[in-house]
């Protein structure tokens, strides 16, 4: 039975070419420093999964956001663990993505033929920071509220456009229910979609060019 | 880059592939171990560190010290240091927009700025040195982000040291980098010296920094904690008018509101018909026409949003018969025979619940304040007679046992305490034992005085 199913699927998908194209590829000798990119992706997936669980109970309104988080922490079975992983995963993701970028910089892996991979990588880094920035407001506690207040204030100092950016971010001159609503939308739909698309491109390029080798005196 | 170089690079890569590994299983294996390690680490942190509790967002609380996410702290610090610079320090958007945009732009365009095909560090000292100083600066500014630039005594030494470490040294180093860029040795020296001096200066700043005052905010997260927090707040802010159990219908003994008729707030009528949100609003806005002042900070009161929430929760779980209250721990541990109570364990929670409502600054209380141990023993118009170790005639003990203090003409100078309704006998007993045994402060001091009762013959 299993064999028939496998054969049927293989005919349509082609496991062999998948295997040779994706898995059985030659790579130069890699070190532990080369694992940071996949670690970033793992963290993104983990954030996605825990984030989906959190949205089941989370309510993005100033009246209920704080209480819904308290309920996740106290009332939901293993809610504290899911939120704990999401909370610390965010911190770790920023850190891992940043160190990944430093490694690529110091080994000059961004040079020909991987320039485009670097550009997309910068996009990924900024999207990660954006995830952190928008996610920070969602618990609607003192720390979140005031961090977002100063964060958007800094964006508001841009000459000429400052006022517009500030109002666009906050949805008005002050932090309000609108701010929370649009940060929530950005956090769970807009930025993750951009991030996932960029990640797909990034991965495609990494597979196409292979990982760069560790530079020696020759290079 | 010409085709010849590209061909060389590709051939070089082919050679490395020849002596390399397979993606599956070699490379992927390492990746999987790394991800697994991260996963385990996250579970451990989530379990053993957890997430510190924070109070609900309160836009009216302007005393809250705003801080951005930790990974933006360096930017925050940079802005603070930049603001200290003479002249250009005033042009804010230079630091908030122009400099970050240039840095980010340079980072993005790195592949097009650094065009040489060489990858080994010895052949690209300039970019590597710049990055090292940049990252050192970012890390150090993150670490010192909590240190103020101006000390409490007005001295600006800390700010100057930080500006030297965070802005001055990097700028000098960058200039030197472009001068020395063809000399590997000098580059190495400049980078190391700059980085080390930045680290040493920041270390000095940290050592000189004023100790951080622990301004821990108690945040009640479990229902029991919230009810207890609500009880404490209720006793301080509400008891005077509404009574211990919310049953007061006519206010007595409150200046300005004497004889005012109010609705008992513990009745079914009130609890069944008013939602939590309305209760919250009554407490926050007050009832201007019936004498209830606003308690929300936004409206001039003393309570934060979380605190008003706790009071509402307390009211529900204590008086609303549709809610089943969880087991609330006792206010103080019951005393054994011969045990002497201490301020820390017994008196403080009792005083907080039953006395502080009136015995705090700004209330009519003969200047007797009870917010700390020292205040309880030494303040008040009658301090010398009030609490006397081992004396049953202390005013304090007389009044809480229902005997008012009279002057020589028979005029009452201190009424019974608390006014209206005496404390429960076991609470009075705690005060009696405490004063008769010399008012010990800590549990250890009280433990020494413990007398095992002589067994009955």
Q: Minimum mean pLDDT among A183-187, A200-204, B36-40, B402-406: which range?
A: B402-406
Cite the beta strand spans of chain A per DSSP E. Answer: 26-27
Nearest to B31 among A22, A38, A212 (CB): A38
Nearest to B69 among A115, A118, A132 (CB): A132
Alpha carbon distance B109, B97 (integer Å):
18
pLDDT of residue B218: 62
Evaluate whether B64 touches B153 at the Cβ level (below 8 Å). no
Contacts of A157 in chain B (CB under 8 A): 92-93, 96-97
Alpha carbon distance A183, A134 (integer Å):
5
Torsion angle, alpha carbons of A39, A42, A43, A46, to 10: -160
pLDDT band at A205 (very low <50, low <70, confident <90, very high): very high
Nearest to B35 among A39, A85, A217 (CB): A39
Q: Which DSSP symbol is given to B287?
A: B
| Domain boundaries along the sequence of chain A | 32-209
Residues A74-79: what's their mean pLDDT? 92
Superfamily of domain B223-319: Cytochrome c-like domain (1.10.760.10)
pLDDT of residue B415: 81
* Chain center to CA of A199: 9
Evaluate whether B387 touches B377 at the Cβ level (below 8 Å). yes
pLDDT of residue A41: 96
Nearest to A27 among B20, B33, B39 (CB): B20
Fold of A32-209: Cytochrome Bc1 Complex; Chain C (1.20.810)
| Residue contact B58–A108, C-beta within 8 A | no
**Is the ipTM here above 0.85?**
yes
Evaluate whether B212 touches B153 at the Cβ level (below 8 Å). no
- List B residues 10-69 in contact with A (Cβ-Cβ < 8 A): 10, 12-13, 16-24, 26-28, 30-31, 33-35, 38-39, 41-43, 45-47, 49-51, 54-59, 61, 64-69
For A147, nearest residue in chain B (alpha carbons):
B68
Sites in chain B below the pLDDT cut of 70 = 212-218, 420, 451-457
Evaluate whether B267 touches B242 at the Cβ level (below 8 Å). no
- Within 10 angstroms of residue B383's Cβ, the number of other Cβ atoms is 14
Evaluate whether B119 touches A111 at the Cβ level (below 8 Å). yes
Alpha carbon distance B32, B17 (integer Å):
21
pLDDT of residue B135: 95
What are B261-274's pLDDT values in tens digits?
Answer: 888 888 888 889 88
**Residue in A111, A123, A124, A127 to test binding to B, most B beta-carbons within 10 Å:** A111
pLDDT of residue A46: 97
Phi, psi of B83 (to 5 degrees): -60, -20
Residues found in chain A: 219
Alpha carbon distance B174, A30 (integer Å):
33
Contacts of A38 in chain B (CB under 8 A): 31, 34-35
Evaluate whether B69 touches A111 at the Cβ level (below 8 Å). no
A81 CA: distance to closest CA in chain B (Å): 6
The CA-CA-CA angle for residues B400, B403, B408, to 5°, reads: 130
């Amino acid at each position: 039975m299993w064999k028939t199913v496998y054969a049927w699927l293989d005919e349509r998908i082609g496991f062999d070419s998948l295997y040779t194209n994706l898995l059985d590829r030659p790579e130069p000798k890699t070190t532990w420093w080369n694992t940071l990119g996949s670690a970033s992706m793992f963290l993104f997936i983990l954030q996605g999964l825990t984030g989906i669980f959190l949205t089941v109970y989370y309510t993005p309104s100033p009246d209920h956001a704080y209480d819904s988080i308290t309920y996740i922490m106290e009332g939901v079975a293993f809610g504290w663990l899911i939120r704990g992983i999401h909370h610390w995963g965010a911190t770790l993701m920023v850190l891992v993505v940043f160190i990944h970028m430093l490694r690529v910089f110091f080994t000059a892996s961004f040079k020909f033929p991987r320039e485009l991979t670097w550009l997309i990588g910068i996009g990924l880094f900024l999207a990660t920071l954006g995830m952190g920035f928008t996610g920070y407001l969602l618990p609607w506690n003192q720390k979140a509220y005031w961090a977002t207040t100063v964060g958007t204030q800094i964006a508001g100092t841009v000459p000429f456009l400052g006022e517009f950016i500030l109002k666009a971010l906050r949805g008005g001159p002050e932090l309000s229910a609108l701010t929370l609503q649009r940060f929530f939308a950005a956090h769970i739909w807009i930025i993750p979609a951009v991030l996932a698309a960029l990640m797909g491109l990034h991965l495609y390029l990494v597979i196409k060019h292979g990982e760069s080798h560790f530079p020696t005196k020759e290079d | 880059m010409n085709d010849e170089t590209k061909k060389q690079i590709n051939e070089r890569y082919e050679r490395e592939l020849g002596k390399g590994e397979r993606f599956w299983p070699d490379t992927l294996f390492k990746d999987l171990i790394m991800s697994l390690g991260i996963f385990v680490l996250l579970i451990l942190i989530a379990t053993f560190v957890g997430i510190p509790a924070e109070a609900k967002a309160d836009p009216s609380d302007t005393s809250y010290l705003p801080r951005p996410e930790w990974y933006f702290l360096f930017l925050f610090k940079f802005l603070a240091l930049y603001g200290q610079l003479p002249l250009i320090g005033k042009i804010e958007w230079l630091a908030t927009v122009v400099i970050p945009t240039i840095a980010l732009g340079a980072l993005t365009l790195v592949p097009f700025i650094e065009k040489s095909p060489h990858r080994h560090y010895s052949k690209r000292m300039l970019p590597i040195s710049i990055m090292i100083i940049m990252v050192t600066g970012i890390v150090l500014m993150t670490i010192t982000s909590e240190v103020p630039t101006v000390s409490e005594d007005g001295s600006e030494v800390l700010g100057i040291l930080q500006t030297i470490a965070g802005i001055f040294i990097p700028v000098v180093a960058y200039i030197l980098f472009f001068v020395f860029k063809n000399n590997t040795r000098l580059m190495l020296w400049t980078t190391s010296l700059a980085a080390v001096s930045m680290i040493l200066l920041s270390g000095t700043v940290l050592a000189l920094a004023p100790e951080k005052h622990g301004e821990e905010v108690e945040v009640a997260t479990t229902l029991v904690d919230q009810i207890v927090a609500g009880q404490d707040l209720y006793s301080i802010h509400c008891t005077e008018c509404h009574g211990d159990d919310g049953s007061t219908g006519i206010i007595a003994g409150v200046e300005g509101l004497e004889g005012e008729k109010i609705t008992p707030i513990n009745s079914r009528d009130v609890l069944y018909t008013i939602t939590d949100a309305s209760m919250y609003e009554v407490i926050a806005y007050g009832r201007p026409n019936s004498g209830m002042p606003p308690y929300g900070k936004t409206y001039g009161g003393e309570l934060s949003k979380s605190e008003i929430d706790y009071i509402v929760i307390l009211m529900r779980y204590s008086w609303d018969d549709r809610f089943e209250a969880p087991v609330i721990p006792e206010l103080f541990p019951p005393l054994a025979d011969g045990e002497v109570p201490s301020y820390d364990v017994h008196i403080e929670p009792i005083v907080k619940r039953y006395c502080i409502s009136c015995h705090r600054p700004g209330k009519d209380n003969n200047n007797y304040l009870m917010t700390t141990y020292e205040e309880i023993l030494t303040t008040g118009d009658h301090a010398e007679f009030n609490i006397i170790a081992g004396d049953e005639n202390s005013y304090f003990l007389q009044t809480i046992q229902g005997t008012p203090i009279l002057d020589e003409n028979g005029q009452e100078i201190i009424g019974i305490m608390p006014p209206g309704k005496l404390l429960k006998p076991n609470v009075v007993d705690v005060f009696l034992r405490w004063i008769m045994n010399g008012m010990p402060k800590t549990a250890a001091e009280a433990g020494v005085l413990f007398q095992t009762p002589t067994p009955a013959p």
